[in-house]
Amino acid sequence: MMRQLFRFHGGVHPPTHKSQSSEKAIVAAVMPSKLVIPLHQHVGNIARPVVKVGDRVLKGQVIGAPDGRLSSAVHASTSGIVAAIDMQVVAHPSALSDLCVTLIPDGLEEWVVNAGADYRELSHTDLRHRLRQAGVVGLGGAVFPSDMKLYGGKNKIKALVLNGAECEPYITCDDRLMRERADEILRGAEIMRALLYAEEVAIGIEDNKPEALAAMQQAIVEGRYQGIEAVAVPTVYPGGGAKQLIRVLTGIEVPAGVRSTDMGVQCFNVATAYSAYRAIAHGEPMLSRIVTVTGNVANPQNFEVLFGTPVEELVAQAGTLPGTTGHLMGGPMMGFELPSAKVGVIKAANCIIAMSEALFPPPAPAMPCIRCTRCVEACPQELQPQDLYWFARADNFGKAQEFSLFDCIECGACAYVCPSHIPLVQYYRYAKSEIWARERDKTAADTARQRHEFRQFRIERDKQEKAAKLAEKERAAALAKQQAEAAQTTAPADEDAQARIQAAMQRVQAQHDQTHPKNTDHLTPQQQTEIAEVEARRAKIRELAHPEADISHPASHLQEVARPQPEDLPKE
């Protein structure tokens, strides 16, 4: 049955340069002298380092644990000693440093204990957890954690699209993978299909890769896979863009601001499916990937490269040639120049191109835009690149957003056709990152406003509470004073109170009479006479005091009752 294919708007046909590397089998790269493994190789939060400098780690051991929901694990690509955990230049267009684990391989390739499982016997939650712990991320270049894309069921995913289009010039890693490991890709697709409850799987392969297409189709027949189809799609750049491939294979156009999953389609790269299969069935975390090494090298070919392998050591295996001016990571359309040849290979690195003056002549100077709208014809997202360019150039970001700047996939088709050689994508990237920075600032300002308002509210509340307490205290004091005054004026008339005071005083007296000093036994006669003298003195004082005691002032009596006089206490 022939499948009906659809077209997407625009697209360009740059020279492919694929034959240099596509006809040689994948070779395992030689173990490098050291591995520089960045802890942030995925979209989301940076992995948290869980090893110490000096630790011996085994191949496949977790060295960075996922931190937060959107994150992924990072593993030791081989067994060896952790030499450093520090900031090192990473493969990023900024040329800035990020946290990396430097590993000195011991050459033993000693694995951690890892057990695979049959995916049919595991719960979907467990499968997703295993993928997360295995550090499986999208290998098409976006490195989005795959477990986050594999929630099926309620979204009603109908079709799973596997992306084997590989539309960028020079790159052949997916081509070789499909030719050599077709069955494993299909097994991975089965796992993904089960997680998504997808009905069908369509594998899109550009028709300039007939061998890969044939290999996949043969594997489908041999493995008796049901509902999986490998489809040849026309070769047009950027036919490997997720939205473009979905359009071509299913006819579904994903609207702006909508995820393809909302339209019932999910898309993965073929290499991601392969890695998912290795992770589930063999318990192997993502430790390596296929990397095309091409451009200005003696033997362009594909290598299976451990993550963290320094780019210069990898390129040397393909035969470094003189005249290399730098290295591109990714293809010539969307890739970027590496800040240094010492950076480690990361999960996003599908291709390393050694640049030379002959292959990549310096860009012609940019001329003014003549509004020829060739970029409009080329844009696969049906945007107005010339308008976006004007707005980005003028820092008119609001307007750029209105013209759907964020639907731009930065494929570079517009810049490719521009007769004025304007680096359009650079303007779009500039505008996008400025808008993101403003949004960050806005969120920070909103938080600060909230915190400031709460602080003011808190200070005001504390003040009010303090004032209320003080008022309460004053009120209580005033009340007590009032009562005391009232008592003073009313007490003489209050016979009852008078009687109670008398009774209390009598009770105290009785108590006092009953108590006897306990240390009066076995006293010498001298001491006894001393005591007798003291007692006599006391009696005299009491006699003197009593007649003077004014019974018309009960307050003084109360004082006497309340406070035991010193002489009432027994003396030693």
Partner 1 sequence: MLSALLVMSGLALFLGAILGFSALKFKVEGNPLVDKIDAVLPQTQCGQCGYPGCRPYATAITEGEADINLCPPGGEEGIAKLAELLGVEAKPFGEGAGPKEKAVAYIDESTCIGCTLCLQACPVDAILGAAKQMHTIIASECTGCELCLPPCPVDCISMVPIPEKVGNWKWRYPVYALTPVAHA
Nearest distance from residue 440's CB to partner 1, in Å?
Answer: 7
Angle between helices 124-133 and 182-196 (to 10 degrees): 130
Question: For partner 1, which is the closer residue by CB, 127 or 411?
Answer: 411
Q: How far apart, in whole angstroms, are the C-alpha atoms of residue 429 and residue 334?
A: 12
Q: How far apart, in whole angstroms, are the C-alpha atoms of residue 557 and residue 478?
A: 24
CA–CA–CA angle 520, 538, 527 (5° rounding): 30
Nearest distance from residue 66's CB to partner 1, in Å?
Answer: 17
Question: For partner 1, which is the closer residue by CB, 433 or 515?
Answer: 433
Nearest distance from residue 285's CB to partner 1, in Å?
Answer: 23
Nearest distance from residue 339's CB to partner 1, in Å?
Answer: 11
Q: How far apart, in whole angstroms, are the C-alpha atoms of residue 447 and residue 451?
A: 6
Question: For partner 1, which is the closer residue by CB, 218 or 450?
Answer: 450
Contact 343, 36 (CB under 8 A): yes
Nearest distance from residue 98's CB to partner 1, in Å?
Answer: 5
Nearest distance from residue 462's CB to partner 1, in Å?
Answer: 12
| Number of DSSP helices (H) and strands (E) in the chain, helices first | 16, 17
CA–CA–CA angle 286, 197, 200 (5° rounding): 90
Structure tokens at 305: 């490269």
Nearest distance from residue 477's CB to partner 1, in Å?
Answer: 30
Pairing of strands 97-105, 159-163: unpaired
Residues 6+ apart with CB under 8 A from 345: 91, 289, 291, 305, 306, 307, 308, 309, 310, 311, 314, 352
- The beta strands (E) that lie in 404-515 are given as none
Question: For partner 1, which is the closer residue by CB, 280 or 411?
Answer: 411
Q: How far apart, in whole angstroms, are the C-alpha atoms of residue 410 and residue 381?
A: 10
Nearest distance from residue 39's CB to partner 1, in Å?
Answer: 11
Nearest distance from residue 370's CB to partner 1, in Å?
Answer: 18
Question: For partner 1, which is the closer residue by CB, 153 or 363?
Answer: 363
Question: For partner 1, which is the closer residue by CB, 137 or 273?
Answer: 137
| CA nearest to 10, candidates 402, 383, 372 | 383
Contact 485, 540 (CB under 8 A): no
Nearest distance from residue 89's CB to partner 1, in Å?
Answer: 10
Residues 6+ apart with CB under 8 A from 4: 251
Q: How far apart, in whole angstroms, are the C-alpha atoms of residue 507 and residue 509?
A: 5
Contact 275, 286 (CB under 8 A): yes
Q: How far apart, in whole angstroms, are the C-alpha atoms of residue 568 and residue 572?
A: 12
Nearest distance from residue 408's CB to partner 1, in Å?
Answer: 13
Q: CA separation (Å) from 425 to 167, 204, 388?
A: 18, 26, 10
Nearest distance from residue 437's CB to partner 1, in Å?
Answer: 6
Q: How far apart, in whole angstroms, are the C-alpha atoms of residue 217 and residue 231?
A: 9
Question: For partner 1, which is the closer residue by CB, 246 or 348?
Answer: 348
SS (H, E, C) 392-455: HHCCCHHHHHHCCHHHCCCCCHHHHHCCCCCCHHHHHHHHHHHHHHHHHHHHHHHHHHHHHHHH
Question: For partner 1, which is the closer residue by CB, 158 or 399?
Answer: 399
Question: For partner 1, which is the closer residue by CB, 39 or 271?
Answer: 39
Pairing of strands 62-65, 56-57: unpaired
Residues 6+ apart with CB under 8 A from 509: none
Q: How far apart, in whole angstroms, are the C-alpha atoms of residue 256 and residue 511?
A: 95
Question: For partner 1, which is the closer residue by CB, 256 or 448?
Answer: 448
What's CA 442's distance to the chain center, in Å?
20
Nearest distance from residue 407's CB to partner 1, in Å?
Answer: 18
- The beta strands (E) that lie in 247-391 are given as 265-269, 288-295, 301-306, 324-329, 336-337, 351-356
Nearest distance from residue 99's CB to partner 1, in Å?
Answer: 9
- For binding to partner 1 (CB under 8 A), which residues are involved? 40, 90, 92-94, 96-98, 365-366, 423, 426-427, 429-430, 432-434, 436-437, 440-441, 444-449, 451-452, 454-455
Contact 159, 264 (CB under 8 A): yes
Contact 249, 218 (CB under 8 A): no
Question: For partner 1, which is the closer residue by CB, 48 or 429?
Answer: 429
Contact 187, 219 (CB under 8 A): no
Question: For partner 1, which is the closer residue by CB, 46 or 276?
Answer: 46
Question: For partner 1, which is the closer residue by CB, 416 or 427?
Answer: 427
Question: For partner 1, which is the closer residue by CB, 69 or 451?
Answer: 451
